[in-house]
Structure 1
Amino acid sequence: MRKTIVLILSAVVLQAVPVLARTPSPENAQVYFIWPSDGMVVGHAFWVRMGLRNMGIAPKGTDIAKTGHHHLLIDTDLPENMDQAVPNDRNHLHFGAGETEARIELPPGSHTLQLLLADKDHIPHDPPVYSKKITVTVK
């Protein structure tokens, strides 16, 4: 009898958890690098300037349609699951205050950079808005 009650309560709790829908993005939205460009040689500390077309920038937590904030992916691929928040680690830099440029430091060598726009909760839009992956060489 006790197992039956636990199973029934579990089913009720699971049904009460809302499923969050991904934030829609316009089909013509584009995120891109203003600087650096693909193949560029840069110093160990350099500026990254991020551009966005047909959407707006808003800080994390701001719920305004057709807006988001930048995430810089360094030496990694796009997240496999676009239904979850972008990780927050040394390979995934968050610009949740709405920044469109940042000074970053990388060790010498070849590095890949890619931009991914995400919504107020750091979840990529639907469809996702991401840049072409570029490569820079740090001297």
Structure 2
Amino acid sequence: MKLHKAGALARSRSLLLVALLAAPFALSFAQGGPTPAPANAYAYIGYPNNGETMPAGKPFRVWFGLRFMGVAPRGVKFPNTGHHHLLVDTDLPPLDHEIPSDRNHLHYGAGETEAMIELAPGKHTLQLLMGDDRHIPHNPPIYSKKITIYVK
């Protein structure tokens, strides 16, 4: 009887430890806002490519890719659509809140699928994040892989 209780206590301590260790990771996977997105939709940066060097001192084109979902301007609420946000040198914002609008979170609310940007010389990261008609990420959130580019 004592052995059975000791084994049950050890198992419950192990489960508690696993739950405590997993908690920070569970919090980092926000579900996104209230607007649904197709489960198979994905965004990608078509140009520039990861690791590419861009010329300093002049704007270059960033091409936004999106599959299995449509593009619609800000304020247009239509199923399975959204608009692009380009994240420059930053991580994803909270996925269940409005996407910030600043020099690191560029909004393309007119439905643009490409942009001309100019960056200072150095190493930079770019990532796309789709927002709904109110600039809130979808559920599930639709975002690209983060790429690194160099400006010289």
Q: By the TM > 0.5 criterion, same fold? A: yes
Q: 2:71 aligns with which of 41, 50, 57?
A: 57
TM-score (norm 2): 0.76
2:109 is the alignment partner of 1:96: yes
Q: CA RMSD in A?
A: 0.8
For 2:96 and 2:142, the matched residues in 1 are separated by 13
Q: Match of 1:48, as an amino acid?
A: V
Q: Which has the higher strand share?
A: 1
Q: Which has the higher helix share?
A: 2
2:87 is the alignment partner of 1:73: yes
Q: Compute the displacement of 1:133 (Å).
A: 0.2
Q: Stretches of 4+ moved more than 2 A in 1?
A: none
State the number of aligned residues.
118
Task: Name the SS for the 2:134 alignment partner.
Answer: coil
2:126 is the alignment partner of 1:113: yes
Q: 1:79-121 CA deviation, whole Å, 9 max, x = no partner?
A: 1x21211000000000000000110010000000000001000
Between the aligned residues of both structures, percent identity stands at: 60
1:1-139 superposed matches below 5 A: 22-44=34-56, 45-79=59-93, 81-139=94-152
Larger Rg: 2
Structure 1: unaligned runs, 5 residues or longer: 1-20
For 1:31 and 1:104, the matched residues in 2 are separated by 19
Structure 2: unaligned runs, 5 residues or longer: 1-32
TM-score (norm 1): 0.83
